[in-house]
Structure formats: structure tokens, C-alpha cells
Amino acid sequence: MTERKYQVGVIGAGPAGVAAAIQLQRTKIKTAIFEKEEIGGLARNANQIENYLGFPEGITGRKFVERMKQQVEKWELPIIREEVTNIDWKEKEEEFQIKTIAEEKYFCQYLLLATGTEPKKITVPGEEELVQEQLLFYEPIKLLEKGGPIKEKKIAIIGGGDAAFDYALNLEKKGGKITIYHRKEEFRCLPVLLERVKKRGREKITIQTKKEVKQLT
């Protein structure tokens, strides 16, 4: 096992974690980011980011993450691409010990948690099997990366919030035929997203309400 020391450890390479790490690096504070997946977090899945200052016309999640990566490279931020499995505070040394799934140990004086959120999983019979068969995905980016071409393919999206409608718009642009299933009649998404989905027309995105998923096959 190797041991490395940093002044600050940032867990999570989404927009918040990367922005904080860049600012720390700018002030000559030795910083490392821990991320088990790709830089960008859930922002990678966004069809259009419109509430981030500096992009009056909006920017796709993909382009936004590309710019994030450029800034990470510019500031030579070390990205430790491993899953953090344990964090201990060492009272005597006055530092945190971070242990990863690869059994590596890292030490830092300060720790910043920027783990963000994870998609809510659907706990119904058949879920685990479809995930293993790569027929069920919780992020569009993973469907596009691992599921192959989606043009003309039927894709079901379960949910009624911002993510469900934004993902529907994203996948429809790639040629998929989308159906949104929501267990309630009212939606939680932003009105602007609902309006955009409806404008796409039923031949491209269909909305099914009062449809609660009980099983997946």
C-alpha cells in the first residue's frame, strides 16, 4: 500500500467538488479529489444546464463536463479514481486517514465531502436482473455508453421530476422513442421542462400518468 499526504481531500468530482478543489489549488493548498467514476457527477447526464451563471444560452451536460476537465488539467489537480471505503480521524496525528477500495491509504488535514446525490433506485422484482443485463440504467450517460445505439428504440423513463423530463429530452435527441411513466397525475418537474416535453409531440415522447411500476421483466 502507498501512503500520500495532502492538506485537503475532496470526495466527489462533481461541479461543487471540482470548483472547491480548483480554488484551493489556486491558493497553493495541496489538494486531491477522490472520485470512483467520471468527473462531472450527474451533470454529465443533463440535456441543458440553464441555471449556471456564465452560460446565458445554456450548455449541455457533456460540454459543461468537458470544460470542467480542461480546468482540472490546467490546475494539475490530482484525481484519485478509486472508491473511498473508510475515513478515520487520527486524533494523535490530527489528520484524516482515507482508505480506498484498492487498499491505498491517503492522509489529509481537512476533508471536504462533495458526494452529491445518487439516482433513486426502483425497488421492485426484476430490477437487479435488468441492471445486470444492462437493460435498466439509472443515468442516460451509461445507457449511451454501454447500451449501444438507441435510434428508434423504445425507452421507458420512470419518474416525474426534473431528472426524468430532462433525461427524456436528452435521449429523444439521440433518436430514442420515449415513454415517461409517473405514478401520480401531477408532476414535480419544472414547468419549462414539462412544456418542452409536450412540444416534442406524442410521437416522440409519450407521458403516462397514474402508472405505478410493480414489476420489471
Mind spelling out the 3-state secondary structure of 85-144?
EEEEEECCCCEEEEEECCCCEEEEEEEEECCCCCCCCCCCCCHHHHHHCCCCCCCHHHHH
- pLDDT band at residue 203 under the 50/70/90 scheme: confident
* Interval 160-200: pLDDT, tens: 999 999 999 999 999 999 999 999 999 999 999 999 999 99
Instruction: Tell which phi-psi region holds residue 120, choosing left (phi > 0), alpha (psi between -120 and 50) or beta.
Output: beta
Taking CA atoms, 75 is separated from 18, 19, 20, 114, 121, in Å, by 11, 11, 12, 19, 36
Q: What is the DSSP letter of 189?
A: S
C-alpha radius of gyration, the chain, whole number: 20
Taking CA atoms, 207 is separated from 25, 156, 189, in Å, by 46, 10, 13
* Interval 1-60: pLDDT, tens: 556 999 999 999 999 999 999 999 999 999 999 999 999 999 999 999 999 999 999 999
* Protein fold of 3-113: FAD/NAD(P)-binding domain (3.50.50)
CATH 3.50.50.60 boundaries in the chain: 3-113, 127-208
Mean pLDDT of the chain: 94
| 136, HSE (Cβ side, Cα atoms, 13 Å) | 18
We find that the CATH architecture of domain 127-208 is 3-Layer(bba) Sandwich (3.50)
Note whether 34 and 21 are within 8 A (CB). no
Note whether 77 and 25 are within 8 A (CB). yes
Q: Identify the weakest region by mean pLDDT among 87-91, 119-123, 168-172.
A: 119-123
Taking CA atoms, 154 is separated from 102, 125, 203, in Å, by 39, 21, 11
Q: Is the per-residue pLDDT at 148 higher than 80?
A: no
Region 143-151 average pLDDT = 82
